[in-house]
Amino acid sequence: MVDVLTKDQRRLNMSRIRNANTAPELLLRRGLHKRGFRFRLHRKDLPRCPDLTLPKYKSAIFVNGCFWHGHNCPMFRVPATRQEFWTAKIQKNRDRDAFVLSSLGEMGWRTFVLWECAVKGRGRRPLDAVLDKITTWLEGKRARGTLARRPR
């Protein structure tokens, strides 16, 4: 029993640590920077400190880990132990995410969610394709955008 708790606790901490400056986030930052976009990181004065904000486009970009944010994709699976705990936890995160996006929208921010599976794992897309998609969205008018793995 103690082992299980320790394992879960470790996973929880890892998720928190990984929450900022993840590999997908760094890839995205480098790519966008190369394309001439300028942004700020983790603004603490905005709901959920968006990973990137681009004031020129009044846009916020989140890079969401599929496990932590409960993405409906193969990279998310409820752990075998303490399923009730995890199901409730992830659902809470999902609800919070929805609330954060609408709060930002009310504040006049456009929001883009890049899922981890778009840049990692079997369904990942070429980085240039990801950057193209985000560039198009940034330069367009749509209030919300999202990108996940390639459909199978």
Tokens standing for residue 25: 């986030």
**Does residue 114 belong to the site contacting Zn ion (CB under 5 A)?**
no
Of 27, 46, 75, 78, the one binding Zn ion by CB under 5 A? 75
CB 94 within 8 A of CB 70: yes
Q: State whether the Cα torsion 8-148-54-107 is positive or negative.
A: negative
Is residue 71 a contact point for Zn ion (CB under 5 A)? yes
By rule CB under 5 A, what string of x and - marks binding of each residue 3-42 to Zn ion?
----------------------------------------
Interface with Zn ion, residue 73, by CB under 5 A = yes
Choose one: 53-61, 77-85, 114-122, 129-137; the region binding Zn ion (CB under 5 A).
Answer: 114-122
147 binds Zn ion (CB under 5 A): no
Stretch that binds Zn ion, among 31-39, 41-49, 74-82, 105-113 (CB under 5 A): 74-82
Distance CA 107, CA 129 (A): 29
CB neighbour list of residue 31: distance below 8 Å, 6 or more residues apart: 127, 128, 130, 131
**Binding footprint of Zn ion, residue count (CB under 5 A):** 6
Please report, for residues 73, 107, 133, the alpha-carbon distance to residue 25 in angstroms, rounded to integers and kept in the order given.
19, 24, 15
Q: Using CB under 5 A, list all residues that contact Zn ion.
A: 66, 71, 73, 75, 115, 117
